[in-house]
Amino acid sequence: MSPGRFTGKVVVVTGAAQGIGRAVAERVAAEGADTVLVDRAELVHEMAADIARIAGTGTTAEGPTAVGVTADLETYEGAGSAIEEALKLRGRIDVLINNVGGTIWTKPFEHYEPEEISKEIQRSLFPTLWTCRAVLPHMISQQGGVIVNVASVATRGVNRVPYAAAKGGVKAITAALALEAAPHGIRVVATAPGGTEAPPRQVVRGPQPEGDREKAWYQQIVDQTIDSSLMKRYGTLDEQAGPIAFLASDEASYITGSVLAVAGGDLG
């Protein structure tokens, strides 16, 4: 922890109800941020209350220093409403951390139905694309800000071709938007997490593997993830949250357009 690192900053974290998103929200709140947690699950309001209490951040004149906002970021309308609500609650956004995404199905590409491919892209690409678009005019007007996208090293991984395509798009957004945003004092960066251990999800991402064939396909992902890591293990939520917080902070003020692999040596 770096106490006070985000004091005076408003940080918006998407996909914050659980997993990496919640770990990041907890981290930046503990380091002084006024935090807005965004998720489509109502659970996000409970998480925000817990974070405000645990982090000891209490309240300000505007209310609790960690607040929840529900929105479906797979649509531009949802992303726009989330950013508007954050601005209404806090008046500014200094950092946007785009964490929404995740594999829905795990199987060889020839077994994906066309509608499943569309849903994977909708889940893991468009929330980042839409929220970047929604927050950009505000950051340009204030001539500063940081966008941290969460991509994945699974752009080179088995049984997740649509997800890989989506996260490859997140990396491309990061590189291209950094070029446009730099003249406005805005940094755009990303991490590319590898396999990460997390508690069971309270809101499931998709259908669980059923039958021996589906379980074998999922196990191939686990095996390939560990084999590709030089450390031969999954990471922890804290090991993902730390680099994201660093890239979001002023300590990374000379870093933009970069994607940091956080995967035990697997570069994806």
**Three-state secondary structure readout of the chain:** CCCCCCCCCEEEEECCCCHHHHHHHHHHHHCCCEEEEEECCCHHHHHHHHHHHHCCCCEECCEECEEEEECCCCCHHHHHHHHHHHHHHHCCCCEEEECCCCCCCCCCHHHCCHHHHHHHHHHHCHHHHHHHHHHHHHHHHHCCEEEEEECCHHHHCCCCHHHHHHHHHHHHHHHHHHHHHHHHCEEEEEEEECCECCCCCCCCCCCCCCHHHHHHHHHHHHHHHHHHCCCCCCECHHHHHHHHHHHHCHHHCCCCCCEEEECCCCCC
Q: What is the pLDDT of residue 64?
A: 60
Q: What is the pLDDT of residue 205?
A: 64
CATH homologous superfamily of domain 10-262? NAD(P)-binding Rossmann-like Domain (3.40.50.720)
Q: What is the pLDDT of residue 199?
A: 85
pLDDT digits (tens, 9 = 90+) for 100-119: 999 999 999 999 999 999 99
Catalytic residue IDs: 163
Spell out the domain ranges in the chain.
10-262
Residue that wins the pLDDT comparison between 63 and 238? 238
Mean pLDDT of the chain: 94
Model confidence, pTM: 0.94
pLDDT digits (tens, 9 = 90+) for 201-255: 776 667 777 789 999 999 999 999 999 999 999 999 999 999 999 999 999 999 9
Judged against a pLDDT cut of 80, whether residue 122 lies above it is answered with yes
Q: What is the pLDDT of residue 57?
A: 47
How large is the average pLDDT for residues 15-36?
A: 95
